[in-house]
Structure 1
Amino acid sequence: MTTLFDLSGRTAVVTGARRGIGLAMAEALARAGADIVGVSARLEPSGSEVERRVRVAGRRFTALRADLADRAAVHRLARELNALGPIDILVNNGGTIARAPAADHSDELWDHVMEVNLTSQFVLSREVGREMVARGQGKIIFTASLLSFQGGITVPGYAASKSGVAGLTKALANEWAALGVNVNAIAPGYIATDNTQALRDDPGRNEAILARIPAGRWGRADDLAGATVFLSSSASDYVNGVVLPVDGGWLGR
């Protein structure tokens, strides 16, 4: 049974790997046996925390820098990744959020969020996925959100982009499932990361959020580890087009 989750000999790319959820995902994949290519706009060439954790797990680590808001940089990243050799797992985790009421949500905020959270994800998936399809195997995982299902408050660009991620997950799965490539997404609940610091610092919002979570606590980044390994492994070979909530029961409330 344990071999179902064994990622030995596989190479996994994790965007947004420098901190938070991406860091936890990269570590989990390394502990399952995968070598890691970490991507972030500010990722240190050497000595990063993600590199340290991957090496402690006994796996190889490669650091790449790319600004997901820069379309040309994303295309360069895709070429770099494909030049590294077969990519077995692509985790499209890198993302951003901008908080402003809809009436004040500027075109610039909208464009930036959509470019990072949706367009770059499609470009990377298309370019790396094309090689996976040619080989007849591969795993692509998106980081979706509770706002792939709900509208949120004062984050219209983020909600639209994460709803788009859910749709993209299903669209790619429809085309590639029969070709050996599994495309799925994880929808984290309220996780204690930098992106949610403002909510946790607001006593009213923090209390309201906790009251809605059946598990009774904010999630931790490492709560995503199991779902990440599952969707990257042979255990999920017949799982396609799923947006898997890891939310402490939030959506079931």
Structure 2
Amino acid sequence: MNELQDKVALITGAASGIGRAAALRFAEEGARLVLADIDEKAGKALAAALPAAVFQRCDVSKHEQCSALVELAEKTYGRLDIAFNNAGISDGPIPPGTLDYPLELWDRVIAINLSSVFYCLRAQVRSMLKTGGGSIVNTASIAGQIAFAGVPGYVAAKHGVVGLTKTVAVEYAAQGIRCNAIAPGFIETAMTKDVLGAEQGRQMMQMAVPAGRAGEAREIADLALWLASDRASYVNGALMAADGGFLAR
């Protein structure tokens, strides 16, 4: 359908999982891509396999590297129309509760899952204002709406992503910028293999999710594609769950 024909889209966390699935879907719809990830080998291989894509290694916890991604988009394609801020990490397979949560883990999770989104948004909005607007999609989580014991860093960060999303949506809607967030549930990716790969974790997920299964990365990518496209032109400041009905319980 070429929904993103000639649009310039930036995707963080693009080398695997949801980010990789989004890169493939955006490319299918005609987008020109700037891909970013900490995994340089996988990121370069993905960019080389797509018709119009460049890759840059990026540690999203560093504000100057987030800004450099936008500079790359402008230098390569002349503009930035779409951003999918997707990079993130988990707290680990079975982290401790709040009282025993390591301070260094807190700093790392907040830096990569929350501060990075702020850094990216600042650079992306500044660029989009030059060309009359654009669409930004942030990866939040069902943990951005509810709490899970033992993962205070992740829960706090994802709640923060939801707040940033709404703030940017309110601040820049009049300038043609839309900013929305996705709340994935239990999705089959490398990041969730420690939980969903274990029999106990899989059984728990199947009981908790009305759909009775984990989601696939491509299903989240399709939602990101829709939010990025003109079909979602009146959707702004929204948090859209893709969780098989988990939050509906």
Q: Which runs of 5+ in 1 are unaligned?
A: none
Runs of 4+ in 1 over 4 A off after TM superposition: none
- Structure-to-structure mapping, 1:220-239, within 5 angstroms: 220-239=216-235
- 1:70-128 deviations in whole A, cap 9, x for unaligned? 33433433433443320110100011111321222122111111111111111111112
Q: Which residue of 1 aligns with 2:180?
A: 184
CA distance in 2 between counterparts of 1:60 and 1:97 reads 31
Alignment partners' CA distance in 2, 1:169 and 1:128: 13
Report what 1:64 is aligned to: 56
Match of 1:160 among 153, 156, 160: 156
Between the aligned partners of 2:225 and 2:218, the Cα distance in structure 1 is 11
The worse-fitting range, judged by mean Cα deviation, of 38-47 and 103-112 is 38-47
* Partner Cα separation in structure 1 for residue 208 and residue 228 of structure 2: 30
Q: Letter of the aligned partner of 1:222 in structure 2?
A: R
- Cα 1:50–1:103, aligned 2, differ >3 Å: closer, same or farther? farther
| Aligned residue number for residue 65 of structure 2 | 73
Aligned residue in 2 for 1:34: 31
Q: 2: distance between equivalents of 1:208 and 1:79?
A: 44
* Closer/same/farther in 2, CA of residues 66 and 204 from structure 1, 3 Å limit: same
Q: Is the 8 A contact 1:28 1:228 kept in 2?
A: no
Query: What amino acid maps onto 1:92 in structure 2?
Result: N
Greater shift, 148-157 or 77-86, is seen at: 77-86
Measured at CA, do residues 9 and 77 of structure 1 come closer, stay the same or move farther in structure 2, by a change above 3 Å?
closer
Residue 83 of structure 1 is aligned with which of 56, 61, 75? 75
Give the distance between the partners of 1:130 and 1:158, measured in 2 at CA. 28
Superposed CA RMSD in Å reads 1.7
Q: TM-score, normalised by structure 1?
A: 0.91
Bigger CA drift: 190-199 or 68-77?
A: 68-77
Runs of 5+ in structure 2 lacking a partner? none
Identity %: 36
Partner of 1:93: 86
Alignment of 1:85-234 (within 5 A): 85-99=78-92, 100-101=95-96, 102-234=98-230
> Structure 1 residues 7 and 77 mapped into 2: Cα distance closer, same or farther (>3 Å)?
closer
SS at 2:220's partner residue?
helix
Corresponding pairs, count:
245
Residue-by-residue CA offset, 1:22-42 (whole Å, 9 max, x unaligned):
000111111111111110012
AA of the residue aligned to 1:29? F
